[in-house]
A and B are shown apart, each in its own frame.
Chain A
Amino acid sequence: MRHNGLFAKAFSVLFAVFMLAPLVVVIGVSFTPEGFLEFPPSGLSLRWFRAILDNPDFIEAAWVSLQLGVASATVSSIFAVPAALAIGRGRFPGRDALQAFFLSPLTVPTVVLGIAFLRFLSFLNANGTFVGLMLCHAIIIMPFILRLVLASVTGLDRSQEQAAVSLGASDWTVFRRVTLPAIMPGVIGGWVLAFITSFDELTVTVFIVSPTTTTLPVRLFSHITQTTDPLVASISTVAILFTVGLMFLVDRIYGLDRLLIGEGAR
Chain B
Amino acid sequence: MPFLQLSGLTKRFGDVVAVEDFSLAVEKGEFVSLLGPSGCGKTTTLQMIAGFEQPTSGHIMLNGRHLEEVPARNRGLGIVFQTYALFPHMTVEENVAFGLEMRGIDKKERARKVAGALELVQLAHLAKRYPRAMSGGQRQRVALARALVIEPELLLLDEPLSNLDAKLREEMQLELRRIQQEAGVTTLLVTHDQNEAMALSDRVAVMHHGRLMQQETPFHVYENPKSSFISTFLGKTNSLTATLKTTNDEGSALVCNGMELAGPPAHLRPGPITVSLRPERIEIVEAGEAVVSGPVIERIFLGDQWLFRIETPIGPLLVVRRNRGQREPEHGETVHLAWTPHHLRLLPKEDEAA
Binding site for B on A (CB under 8 A): 157, 159-160, 162-170, 173, 177-178, 181-182
B77 within 8 A of A: yes
Interface secondary structure of A, over-half rule: helix
Whether the pair B85, A162 counts as a contact (CB closer than 8 A) is yes
Query: Chain B residues with Cβ under 8 A from A169's Cβ?
Result: 73, 98, 102
A101 to B14: give the CA distance in the assembly, Å. 27
Interface positions, chain B 63-81, Cβ under 8 Å from A, are 72-79, 81
Query: Chain B residues with Cβ under 8 A from A177's Cβ?
Result: 87, 98
A166 to B88: give the CA distance in the assembly, Å. 17
Query: Chain B residues with Cβ under 8 A from A166's Cβ?
Result: 50-51, 72-73, 75, 77-79, 147
A167 to B88: give the CA distance in the assembly, Å. 16
Assuming A165-B73, A166-B78, A168-B74, is B146 touching A178 (CB within 8 A)?
no
10 nearest A-B pairs in the assembled complex, by CB-CB distance: A167-B99, A168-B102, A159-B85, A159-B81, A163-B85, A166-B79, A160-B85, A181-B89, A165-B72, A165-B73
Query: Chain A residues with Cβ under 8 A from B50's Cβ?
Result: 162, 166
Query: Chain A residues with Cβ under 8 A from B112's Cβ?
Result: none
Query: Chain A residues with Cβ under 8 A from B102's Cβ?
Result: 167-169, 173
Shortest B33–chain A CB gap in Å is 20
* Chain B, Cβ-Cβ closest to A171: B73
Query: Chain B residues with Cβ under 8 A from A163's Cβ?
Result: 79, 81, 85-87, 146
Shortest B89–chain A CB gap in Å is 5
A163 to B147: give the CA distance in the assembly, Å. 9
B150 within 8 A of A: yes
A182 to B83: give the CA distance in the assembly, Å. 15
A168 to B103: give the CA distance in the assembly, Å. 7
B52 within 8 A of A: yes
Query: Chain B residues with Cβ under 8 A from A160's Cβ?
Result: 85-87
Query: Chain B residues with Cβ under 8 A from A170's Cβ?
Result: 73
Whether the pair A164, B87 counts as a contact (CB closer than 8 A) is yes
A169 to B150: give the CA distance in the assembly, Å. 13
Query: Chain A residues with Cβ under 8 A from B103's Cβ?
Result: 168
B82 within 8 A of A: yes
Shortest A19–chain B CB gap in Å is 37
The listed residue (B74, B82, B146) touching A159 by CB distance below 8 A is: B82
Shortest B248–chain A CB gap in Å is 54
Query: Chain B residues with Cβ under 8 A from A157's Cβ?
Result: 83, 85
Assuming A157-B83, A181-B89, is B99 touching A162 (CB within 8 A)?
no
Size of the chain B interface, CB-CB below 8 angstroms: 26
Query: Chain B residues with Cβ under 8 A from A168's Cβ?
Result: 73-74, 76, 99, 102-103, 150
Shortest B267–chain A CB gap in Å is 43
| Chain A CB within 10 A, most for which of B51, B73, B75 | B73
Q: List 15 A-B contacts (CB under 8 A).
A: A160-B87, A162-B50, A162-B81, A163-B79, A166-B51, A166-B72, A166-B73, A166-B75, A166-B147, A167-B73, A167-B99, A168-B74, A168-B76, A169-B73, A169-B98
Query: Chain A residues with Cβ under 8 A from B88's Cβ?
Result: 182
A266 to B87: give the CA distance in the assembly, Å. 31
Q: For the A-B complex with A163-B79, A182-B89 known, give 18 more contacts whose Cβ atoms are closer than 8 Å.
A: A157-B83, A159-B81, A160-B87, A162-B72, A163-B85, A163-B146, A165-B51, A165-B52, A165-B72, A165-B73, A166-B147, A167-B102, A167-B146, A168-B76, A169-B102, A173-B102, A177-B98, A181-B87
* Chain B, Cβ-Cβ closest to A181: B89
A182 to B90: give the CA distance in the assembly, Å. 11
Query: Chain A residues with Cβ under 8 A from B98's Cβ?
Result: 164, 167, 169, 177
Shortest B86–chain A CB gap in Å is 8
Whether the pair A162, B52 counts as a contact (CB closer than 8 A) is yes
Shortest B41–chain A CB gap in Å is 18
A173 to B87: give the CA distance in the assembly, Å. 13
Query: Chain A residues with Cβ under 8 A from B87's Cβ?
Result: 160, 163-164, 177-178, 181
Shortest A105–chain B CB gap in Å is 32
Query: Chain A residues with Cβ under 8 A from B99's Cβ?
Result: 167-168
Shortest A172–chain B CB gap in Å is 11
* Chain A, Cβ-Cβ closest to B143: A163
* Chain B, Cβ-Cβ closest to A166: B79
Query: Chain A residues with Cβ under 8 A from B51's Cβ?
Result: 165-166
Query: Chain A residues with Cβ under 8 A from B79's Cβ?
Result: 162-163, 166
Shortest B144–chain A CB gap in Å is 12
* Chain A, Cβ-Cβ closest to B52: A162
A173 to B51: give the CA distance in the assembly, Å. 18
A169 to B146: give the CA distance in the assembly, Å. 14
A189 to B75: give the CA distance in the assembly, Å. 37
* Chain B, Cβ-Cβ closest to A173: B102
A160 to B150: give the CA distance in the assembly, Å. 17
Interface positions, chain B 99-116, Cβ under 8 Å from A, are 99, 102-103
What 1/0 mask marks residues of chain B from 148 to 161 whose CB sits below 8 Å from any chain A CB? 00100000000000
* Chain A, Cβ-Cβ closest to B75: A166
Query: Chain A residues with Cβ under 8 A from B76's Cβ?
Result: 168
A159 to B80: give the CA distance in the assembly, Å. 9
A160 to B82: give the CA distance in the assembly, Å. 11
What 1/0 mask marks residues of chain B from 92 to 132 whose CB sits below 8 Å from any chain A CB? 00000011001100000000000000000000000000000
Query: Chain B residues with Cβ under 8 A from A182's Cβ?
Result: 88-89
Query: Chain A residues with Cβ under 8 A from B77's Cβ?
Result: 166
What 1/0 mask marks residues of chain B from 295 to 333 whose CB sits below 8 Å from any chain A CB? 000000000000000000000000000000000000000
| Chain B CB within 10 A, most for which of A160, A181, A182 | A160
A132 to B261: give the CA distance in the assembly, Å. 91
